[in-house]
Structure 1
Amino acid sequence: MRRQIGVALQESVLFSGTIRDNIRYGRLEASDEEVMAAARLANADQFIHRLPQGYQTPLSERGSNLSQGQRQLLAIARAILANPTILILDEATSSVDTRTEKHIQAAMLHLMQGRTSF
């Protein structure tokens, strides 16, 4: 049941580890290419590549070394990677700019096809 539900909340939950690890938490067996594809769909790939270590950038506990918007983008990428049947979005785009929100909404429309979402 747990694998069928994806969640992206207003207060994103991130863990100590790398950005890649945090996205991959959505599906542990995912390849690096799948992780990067999910980040692109969530519009997180651009900011990740601007970081000195890219996907290997270590995150402090709760991702406090990222902005709230960046943390939300990673949580959305994790949900995209998990490819759940049920997707729960709780103001998941509340801390991103309008342009980024439009990109995320387009990705979410694609992701929500054939799924229950609320």
Structure 2
Amino acid sequence: MASIDVGGGYSIDFDDADKFRKALEDQLHALQSTMNNTAADLMGVGPGHDDYSKAFGAMGTQLVQAHREWNTAKQKELSNLIDSLKAAVDKYKQTEHDNTIKG
């Protein structure tokens, strides 16, 4: 069975490429959904008006921002992997087609 190099030292069987792409897209959509659905809910607000509450709110805001940056980076990583997989599948199909024509 033919295998496709998907980068990072990993390869998958050609027959599993669509299943793998679907799993990656599902994960990408889950990250996007998390980002969209929690954007308003994740606010770093302290419980009171004292200095400790302000510090808590600032720390919460920093944590939320760090999570958003992580989420965005993972979305980009998954998008790039999906694009690479699609390109590898297309290249494989084209090579198979060319070999059939030559044969």
Indicate whether the TM-score tops 0.5. Answer: no
Q: Which has the higher strand share?
A: 1
Higher relative contact order (CA 8 A, sep 6+): 1
**TM-score w.r.t. structure 2 length?**
0.27
- Larger gyration radius, structure 1 or structure 2: 2
Q: Which has the higher helix share?
A: 2
**TM-score w.r.t. structure 1 length?**
0.24
